[in-house]
Amino acid sequence: MAVGKTSEPIPAGGSAGPVSIWFLLHVSTCIGALGRLARQPFASLMTVLVIAVTLALPASMHLVIKNAQSIGNNWENALDFSVYLQNNVALNDANRLASLIEQRADVAHVTVISAQEALEEFKSASGFGSALDHLQNNPLPHTLIVRPSGANTEQSMILLHEELGNLPESDLVQIDTVWVQRFHAILDILRRAIAIGAGLLGVAIVVIIGNTIRLDIQNRREEIEVTKLIGASNAFVRRPFLYSGFWYGLGGGLLALGLVGYGLYALEQPVRRLAGLYNSTFSVLDLNLSESFIIIGIGVLLGLAGSWLAAARHMRRIEPG
């Protein structure tokens, strides 16, 4: 039907002005559109489901990236610095320096590995044991292993790195960030790939809704002709179809949230078990409120866009005569 039902009286407080009449017309058209979808529950549900799955795909990929990033950030802050001291620094000086560094707020603790210890470890770990016996003096420097405190941010880590490097005793400061950077670079690529995929899926939603509305318009061609014949404008006949698109989009968005939520629920136990095996308290990050609203909003916008395109294209052609 092109117009909302009117047989149920809508209570209008006092004398209804043009704005409230306009508002009531929209409300009744909106509810009428929902009622029409409800009269074909299976077909409507299928459309909503397709939209929901199409929205849930990029949304869940976004969650995967978001969680991966948060794990990555944890790793980054747990990295140790290896401060290789100059060869002429004595072990006593190294120990003194270690206790000085340990007093910093951004440092959790400092371990000193003497050149002798380092050589022993190297002998046993490298397999060059006997070959190294022939060395006349130990080529290795004393080393400080600096563990940053957990409160560090990316910025303060960079600062700490710089300051350790600027110490007169230090020769080289190493932090194994390369693989973390690679990890983030991979995440960036994935994020972009998901954005591209999400764009394509968005186009798919517009097409799906547009096609559904187009069929709806064709089925109600006669009714559109009659209403136009008795003076309905294009905007008037288009309105219920726009509301149909709105409901499809809204339903799809809500159901997408449901699908993502169910996916998280299904993953929660195994993730907790894995985290437990790593002695981690990691728990899966859910969509936050604004992300949820964004997903619903995108669904609604795409629904309106699809129905608008279909209505603009097909409605104009239906003229009485």
Partner 1 sequence: MIRIEDVTKRFPGGQEGLKGLSLSIEKGEMVFITGHSGAGKSTLLRLIALIERPTSGQVIVDGQNTRRVPRRKIPAYRREMGMVFQDHKLLYDRSVFDNVALPLIISGIGHRDAARRVRAAIDQVGLLTKEKQRPETLSAGELQRVGIARAIVSRPKLLIADEPTGNLDPDLSLEVMRIFRRFNEVGVTLLIASHDLALIDQLGCRRVPLENGALQIDEERDEVADYFEGDEVPPGNELWP
Contact footprint for partner 1 (CB under 8 A):
1-7, 9-10, 12, 16, 18, 21-22, 24-25, 223, 225-234, 236, 319-321
For partner 1, which is the closer residue by CB, 21 or 186? 21
What's the CA gap between 242 and 175, in Å, rounded?
57
What's the CA gap between 95 and 112, in Å, rounded?
7
For partner 1, which is the closer residue by CB, 161 or 314? 314
For partner 1, which is the closer residue by CB, 270 or 321? 321
* Helix or strand run (H / E) with residue 318: none
For partner 1, which is the closer residue by CB, 24 or 309? 24
CA distances from 292 to 53, 155, 278 (A): 15, 30, 30
How distant is the alpha carbon of residue 192 from its chain centre?
A: 12
CB of 231 to partner 1, least distance (A): 4
CB of 248 to partner 1, least distance (A): 20
CB of 35 to partner 1, least distance (A): 11
Q: Is 13 helix (H, G, I), strand (E, B) or coil?
A: coil
CB of 13 to partner 1, least distance (A): 11
Bridge-based pairing of strands 143-148 and 107-113 is antiparallel
CB of 228 to partner 1, least distance (A): 7
Strand order in the sheet with 107-113: 107-113, 143-148, 81-85, 170-175
For partner 1, which is the closer residue by CB, 230 or 277? 230
